[in-house]
Structure 1
Amino acid sequence: MSEINSIFERIKGYYGIIPLIFQTLSRNPDLFEAYFEKSQALIVNSLSSNLSFEEIELISIGAAAALGSEHCLETHIKILKDHDIDKEKVFNAILLGSMIAETSSLSKSLRIFEEVYNRT
């Protein structure tokens, strides 16, 4: 089995699917392996620093909601659904992530608004 296929099996074991980003990056084996290793390091580091699997996935959902990343949202929501994680926790992660995105947009817009109207 090639290194890429071996990595695909590990990815599928975690996500239940092979996300498009990994499929596409696999066209360049060096880039693919580097991206996978970075992803693994982040997950392993997070797990070893007292974040649970559930917390990592909820953070991922909040970030995906903030960034408007539909495919990431679907993937990570499905992971938690498949692990029978409380639907309300997932819902709240989406709301919190969306609120951060809204706050970011609003703060930038209001800062410009104030600058324009306060010019002399």
Structure 2
Amino acid sequence: MNIEEEIDVDEIFEKIESYFGFVPKIFQVLAEKPATLKAYCEKVETINNDDALPSLTKEFVAIGAASAIGAENCLLTHLKVAEKFGAKQEQLLLAILMGSLIAETDALSKSLRVYENFKEQV
């Protein structure tokens, strides 16, 4: 029997929907390869179940990261989940600003190093 046939995608989708409130597109597409979907979801679940950080804090990290890399769909998804966990609007905005600040700082750091090297060559 093929491993793909043994995996209950509907059951996986139910778990995903219970967390996110819907099934994000990434999971829908991964369902074409149920074993891959299962493996990815197990990783997500392992991280989400780690109590080293509260769930809301993990969502703030996800919001900052999504903001930093410009992942609009991820950002919207994690904003919704954080709101479900009780985040206030000012907290959501601050998480976005923190992520964007880090992205800007990274761009400046790289660009200013090139500039410094350029100055030395002149």
Question: TM-score, length-normalised on structure 2?
Answer: 0.89
Structure 1 spans left out of the alignment, 5+ residues:
none
Shift of 1:91: 0.7
Q: Of 108, 111, 115, which residue of structure 1 is paired with 2:110?
A: 108
- Aligned counterpart, 1:41: 46
Tell me whether 1:24 sits opposite 2:29 in the alignment.
yes
How far does the alpha carbon of each residue in 1:69-100 deviate from its partner, in whole angstroms, 9 at most, with x for none? 00011011112223442111111000000000
- Aligned counterpart, 2:17: 12
Of stretches 10-19 and 80-89 in structure 1, the one that deviates more from structure 2 is 80-89
Structure 2 spans left out of the alignment, 5+ residues:
1-6
How far does the alpha carbon of each residue in 1:22-59 deviate from its partner, in whole angstroms, 9 at most, with x for none? 001110111111111111111112x2x2x111101111
Aligned sequence identity (%): 41
Structure 2 SS opposite 1:118: helix
- Aligned counterpart, 1:96: 98
Cα distance in 2 for residues equivalent to 1:80 and 1:37: 21
Cα distance in 2 for residues equivalent to 1:34 and 1:9: 16
